[in-house]
Amino acid sequence: MSKNKNILWYILAAAIVAADFAVKRHILAAYSVGERFGGIPAVCDFVYVKNTGAAFSMLSNNTIVLSAVSIVFCIAAAVYWIVKKPQHPMLRLAVTLLFAGALGNAIDRVAYKFVVDFISIKWFEFPVFNVADMAIVGGAIAAVLYVIFFDKENKNGKAKD
């Protein structure tokens, strides 16, 4: 795999982490916890929430454990990329999005001991989330699609990508 093929995936990961970082820093500087500050009509509101847990606030107040899990996951994703050298675009997208999302939330956990969440869906009850969370969900969806549609075993019984 050429380095030129990788650069776009690296740029995508960096752009997601940078966007997540910039939005969260703005929220920290400009708003108080619980404050609403706009949104997208009929879709979502923006409200600053401190999340000390993982998805759906599971494991609340376990920041050290969640920080460690996030960092280990980022390292594992990077090692996977280097060692396995995934070729299929759907698998590359999955790894890139999962890595970027995990890194975005890991930065918050290490720096602030909580994750900044701010997107609140209007049309159904759902936990408040952020840009990094969207990347993680997108990466998980890409991984599932890869497994369902593209991860076929070759003649030797080894999965190919």
- Residue 21 corresponds to which amino acid? F
Does the annotation count 20 as an active-site position?
Answer: no
Catalytic entry in 108, 117, 151, 161:
117
Catalytic entry in 20, 45, 108, 133:
133
DSSP string, 122-154: SSS----B-HHHHHHHHHHHHHHHHHHHT--B-
Distance of CA 76 to the CA centre of its chain: 14
Does the annotation count 133 as an active-site position?
Answer: yes
- Torsion from C-alpha of 110, 137, 132, 113, nearest 10 degrees: -30
Nearest to 111 by CA among 48, 74, 67, 72: 67
| Distance separating alpha carbons of residues 124 and 133, to the nearest angstrom | 18
Nearest to 104 by CA among 142, 130, 128: 130
Which residues are the active-site residues?
117, 133
